[in-house]
Amino acid sequence: MKVTEGYMNFLDYQTYYRIVGEKSDKAPLLLLHGGPGSTHNYFELFDELALDGRQIIMYDQLGCGLSSMPDKKELWHAETWLDELANLRNHLQLDELHLLGQSWGGMLLIKYMCDLKPKGIKSIILSSTLSSSALWKKEQHRLIKLMSQEDQEQIAYAEKYNDFNQPEYLAANDRFMLKHAGGIPNELSKEPLRRKKNRGEQAYLYAWGPNEFSPMGTLKGFDYTKQLKEIKVPTLITSGSDDLSTPLVSKTMFDEIENAKWELFGNSRHMPFVDEEELYMTILKKWLNEND
């Protein structure tokens, strides 16, 4: 498969992108990664979709990965990444396309659809994401109540005193993320998952917060639930049964989007395309072909 890498000038910085496959009569799929600051790495699992004759495009959002990582706290808000997305689409001349956003990337996709009302969108895929930071926080704390009493107490202490550095809290948070986010890659994991990430820690901290259940940054007030009805394009919602994006979070989006389908993966956490890769790719390929 042909892989093309490049950079786009954005603000005073550069945004890295990676294109797999050739242009064809099938609309390309543009992938928006999570975080903020998670990098595109895991999306390289989607390369196989290009074997179906569809161009797959991914990029590292400003503040992480192979893109510029400026030490500027004032950049880390949704408008920065929204402008970057709009500029990238124009730069790559993506007149018609499908869009998939995972986790924070799904929040960005929702904002893009509601705020900019872009033309030429064949379909969107909201992968393990959310429309409301407040609902997300509420659901994470419900999941915390399923943990051991000791872990609950360590997390409660960290939140009460705004101290997220104690080893006992860090261990509890690791157990929470293992249960609901994903496992630690090992020698059996595929290379993109094992590859060291250039994480955007500043972007994550100032846009979201110190962990998944304490949104304290610029995205704290994110709530597009009422605007979801403005999304009219075919929408596929995907999530896992043990996902940070709980069934309630996913159903909230499903209930508000008129032309939506929801696939719940029964053996997955926050990345069904990792935990149930073959099934996820089969469903996604079918969805894209049906909505070209």
pLDDT, one tens digit per residue, over 212-269 is 999 999 999 999 999 999 999 999 999 999 999 999 999 999 999 999 999 999 999 9
Decide the pairing of beta strands 260-265 and 3-10. Answer: unpaired
Active site residue 151: no
What Cα–Cα distance (Å) separates residue 270 from each residue in 129, 148, 168, 175, 278?
Answer: 9, 21, 24, 14, 16
User: Which is catalytic among the residues 33, 40, 180, 270?
Assistant: 270
Active site residue 268: no
What's this model's pTM, rounded to 2 decimal places? 0.98
User: Smallest Cα–Cα separation from 168: which of 186, 181, 149?
Assistant: 149
User: Which is catalytic among the residues 243, 250, 268, 275?
Assistant: 243
pLDDT, one tens digit per residue, over 280-289 is 999 999 999 9
CATH 3.40.50.1820 for domain 3-132+188-290, yes or no, is yes
Contact of 104 with 131, CB cutoff 8 Å: no
Tell me the domain boundaries of the chain. Answer: 3-132+188-290
Nearest-angstrom CA–CA distance, 99 and 89: 11
pLDDT, one tens digit per residue, over 9-21 is 999 999 999 999 9
Active site residue 292: no
pLDDT, one tens digit per residue, over 156-169 is 999 999 999 999 99
Q: Check whether 1 has a pLDDT greater than 90.
A: no
Contact of 45 with 274, CB cutoff 8 Å: yes
Q: pLDDT band at 4, cuts 50/70/90?
A: very high
Contact of 272 with 265, CB cutoff 8 Å: yes
Tokens at 235, concatenated: 């929408």
Share of the chain above pLDDT 70, in %: 100
User: Which is catalytic among the residues 67, 68, 103, 123?
Assistant: 103
